[in-house]
Amino acid sequence: MSLPSETLVLVTGGSGFVGLYCIIDLLNAGYQVRTTVRSLSKSSFVKDSLRAGNIAESSLERLSFIAADLTKDDNWQEAVLGCTYVLHVASPFPAQIPKHEDDLIVPAREGTLRVLKAAKAAGVKRVVVTSSFAAIGYGHPPQSAPFTEESWTNVSDPSVMPYGKSKTLAERAAWDFVKSPEGEGLELSVVNPVGIFGPVLNNDISTSIILVQRLLKGNVPGCPNLVFGIVDVRDVATLHLRAMTSPAAAGERFLAISPPSMTMQEVAMTLKQRLPKLSKRTPTRAIPNFLVRIVAFFDAEVASIVPTLGKTIDGTNEKAKRILGWEPRSREDAIVATAESLVKLNLV
Contacts of 89 (CB under 8 A, 6+ apart): 11, 12, 13, 14, 16, 18, 19, 22, 130, 240
Is-contact 26 89, C-beta < 8 A? no
Pairing mode, strands 187-193 and 253-256: parallel
The average pLDDT across 83-99 equals: 78
Residue 15 domain flag? yes
Dist. CA 322–CA 277, nearest whole Å: 39
Residue 338 domain flag? no
Residue 114 domain flag? yes
Residue 345 domain flag? no
Residue 256 domain flag? yes
Q: State pLDDT tens for residues 227-245.
A: 899 999 999 999 999 999 9
Single pTM value for the model:
0.93
Dist. CA 64–CA 96, nearest whole Å: 32
Predicted local distance difference test score (pLDDT) of residue 297: 78
Contacts of 333 (CB under 8 A, 6+ apart): 232
Q: State pLDDT tens for residues 158-170.
A: 888 888 899 999 9
**Residue 150: CA count within 13 A, CB half-sphere:** 6
- Residue 3's pLDDT band, with cuts at 50, 70 and 90, is low
Residue 122 domain flag? yes
Domain of residue 242, residue span: 4-201+230-261+315-331
Contacts of 303 (CB under 8 A, 6+ apart): 97, 296, 297
Is-contact 158 174, C-beta < 8 A? no
Dist. CA 119–CA 227, nearest whole Å: 37
> How many Å is the Cα radius of gyration of the chain?
20
CATH code, domain carrying 126: 3.40.50.720
Residue 197 domain flag? yes
pLDDT at residue 143 greater than cutoff 80? no
pLDDT at residue 93 greater than cutoff 60? no
Based on the structure, what is the number of domains in the chain?
Answer: 1
Residue 146 domain flag? yes
Number of CB atoms found within 10 A of residue 176's CB = 12
